Amino acid sequence: MAKNMSKRDRKNLIIAVSAMALAVVVLVLVTLFSRRGEKVPSNPEGTVGNLAGNINNGGIVCESDGRIYFSNPYDGGALYSMNVDETDCKKISTAVASSICVAGKYIYYFQSGSSGASGLGGVRVPNSFIRSHIDGQHGYTMSRDVVVRAQVVGDYVYMEGTADNNHTYPYFQRMPIGGGDAELLARYGINPSCAVGNIIYYNNTEGNHYLMAYNTVTKNTYEVLEGNIWNPVYDGGFIYYMAPEDGYQLRRYSLNDQTVEILTNERVESFNVYKGYIYYQTMGNDAHLAFMPSGGGQATILADGNFNSISMTNGYVYFKDYWNENLLYHTIPGSTYYGTVDAAKQAAMDNIKEENEKAKEE
């Protein structure tokens, strides 16, 4: 028969149990904190993570503070960064990134897989929306939802998603940049790409395709322009868009005097606008990539064929060949010359060689 515990033993037991309980509480608090991630400072008023045209074209290129962040096709789509003059090109993540946004010292992107170059090679990487430092360190999973497009606006990430394991319907939601619960804003898709200050311009997908505006502060929406409108992009007081019911013409709408201008009668598949130029890809038997002044005028064909992922920065226009997306091209705005981005190719080759050598040593 067990002996009764002494007063000293009971005291030691109480201390041990209390210590264990405290450890559990600390562990829970640490876990909760780690799920939320680090404390992210507020963004300056009017912060937008990337150009609307870039996000509409996949969000594979984003420029911020003298650096270009991009999905490198020469390394399986891994996330790289380089100076605006394309020097100091380096890998910052194996993630195959899209909807890339940069705000402050943080980069946000949707990860649809891994380049498989090292460490994660052969391992299935789940879809996830990531925030990390701009050097790729301290990655934090904000969401495991399937994100079609995302845009940083102020202190929130606005996401358009599709039906998946977590949603039985397309959705529009936002999350604080510091992490936390997603706030469902609509049970249908809203493209958040075209953000101007606190306003997101989008084409309605419920009942009509009118141009609408969503106020991110008040959460109110209002109609801007009637018509069948697709992929709006803001630039210099105008909303540029495609008109599906009129042969996918490229048009622009003045927010100042409410007038509409037809910029091209060609059937446009995709476009981007920045720094005084419009770049657009046409559809049909004579498909080509062309450009014109942002105010309209004579178009110049840059390249015959089918191209996509038209992305713009201060110094370059980037695009990919529809039939060979392992290549990345660039051109200087307004120039008729284009070529491959050799800096991205060389950096990828160096990285792959280095990672293969490390794998052999292991």
Could you tell me the pTM of the whole model? Answer: 0.86
Q: pLDDT grade, residue 1 (50/70/90)?
A: very low
Per-residue model confidence as pLDDT tens digits over 149-174: 999 999 999 999 987 666 678 899 99
pLDDT of res. 25: 46
Give the pLDDT confidence of 238-251 residue by residue, as tens digits: 999 999 999 999 99
Does the pLDDT value for residue 332 go beyond 90?
A: yes
Q: What pLDDT, on the 0 to 100 scale, is given for residue 206?
A: 86
Identify the pLDDT of residue 162: 84
Residue 158 lies in a domain: yes
Q: Is the pLDDT of residue 92 over 60?
A: yes
Look at residue 274 in the predicted model and tell me its pLDDT.
97
The pLDDT of residue 35: 44
Say if 239 falls within a structural domain: yes
> pLDDT category, 115, cuts 50, 70, 90?
low
pLDDT tens digits along 200-240: 999 998 888 999 999 999 999 999 999 999 999 999 999 99
Residue 182 has pLDDT above 50, yes or no: yes
pLDDT at residue 60 is higher than 60 = yes
Overall number of domains in the chain: 1
Residue 327 falls inside a structural domain:
yes
Residue 23: inside a domain, yes or no? no
- Tell whether 13 is covered by a domain: no
CATH number of the structural domain spanning residue 258: 2.130.10.120
| Mean pLDDT score across all residues of the chain | 89
Asked whether residue 40 is assigned to any structural domain, the reply reads: no
pLDDT score at 108: 98
pLDDT of residue 199: 98
**Per-residue 3-state assignment (H helix, E strand, C coil) for the chain:** CCCCCCHHHHHHHHHHHHHHHHHHHHHHHHHHHHHHCCCCCCCCCCCECCCHHHHHCCCCEEEECCEEEEEEHHHCCEEEEEECCCCCCEEEEEEEEEEEEEECCEEEEEEEEECCCCCCCCCCCCCEEEEEECCCCCCEEEECCCEEEEEEECCEEEEEECCCCCCCCCEEEEEECCCCCCEEEECCCCCCCEEECCEEEEECCCCCCCEEEEECCCCCEEEEECCCCEEEEEECCEEEEEEHHHCCEEEEEECCCCCEEEEECCCEEEEEEECCEEEEEECCCCCEEEEEECCCCCCEEEEECCEEEEEECCCCEEEEECCEEEEEEEECCCCCCCEECHHHHHHHHHHHHHHHHHHHHC
Regarding predicted confidence, which is higher, 50 or 12? 50
Task: Answer yes or no: is 24 within a domain.
Answer: no
Dump pLDDT digits (tens) for 278-321. Answer: 999 999 889 999 999 999 999 999 999 999 999 999 999 999 99
In a domain, 87, yes or no: yes
Where in the sequence is the domain holding 85, given as residue range(s)? Answer: 52-361
